[in-house]
Amino acid sequence: MNKKVVMNSISGLIIGLGVLAAPTAIAAATPTATDECARELLLSYFPEPIVTDTLKKFNIPQEKWAGINHSLAKHDKEIVKLVEQKASAMNPNPLKDPQQRQAAVKLFRETLLQVFTDAMKENDVEDSSQYQAMLDEIQQQKAKKFALCMEKQKAQLQQNRNHDDSSNDNDDDDDEDDNDDKDDQESNHNGHQESEKNTNKNASKNNAGK
């Protein structure tokens, strides 16, 4: 299978449609910015903090949150494999044909809904009328977090560049100051030598006059 096409399909979902944007995972406490944008959290399809916030928003009983998050985390790494299995049974395979991008998007969405539905049913949340709305909420929040982390990363890179440029400018100024000091020292040395020559000349003249 063309892994590059697979990853391009995933990227299209993450960035283009905001469907699979994979940002953060946090505990009940408020995380730091570094935690929110950690690579392993950005790659999660069902980051725990966003799932938990969504469950709370849709009035899912709190005692079920941990079980649902556990079920989703257990299947998170299997999603691409599930998509590949389904795609291999399709003709044409949407993951091998760039022209079938919309079919790949649909396949990923269906697979995410399948995994989410199974997790909810495993934890006795039977009101299926909310499943799609809850999944959409999770995906929207992930897309926002992904974009925020990209902006933070961009700002950090720019700050690092500015710092490097400033350091280089300071180094150049130091080199110029060193050169100026060297020139001053040479000038003083030459002046001192010239003064000694003049003194010697005058002494010679005086001796000659005597």
CA distances from 17 to 12, 143, 144, 169 (A): 7, 8, 11, 43
Instruction: Sketch the domain layout of the chain as residue ranges.
Output: 3-146
Q: Torsion-angle region of residue 60: left (phi > 0), alpha (psi -120 to 50) or beta?
A: beta
Q: 57-82 burial string, b = 16+ CB within 10 Å, else e?
A: eeebeeeebeebbebbbebbeebbeb
List, for residues 142-185, the tens digit of each pLDDT value. 889 888 888 888 888 888 888 877 776 666 666 666 666 666 66
Instruction: Answer whether 0.85 is exceeded by the pTM.
Output: no
Determine the pLDDT at residue 158: 87
pLDDT in tens, 28-71: 333 444 467 777 777 889 999 999 999 999 999 999 999 999 99
Quote the CA–CA distance of 113 and 72 in Å, as a whole number.
11
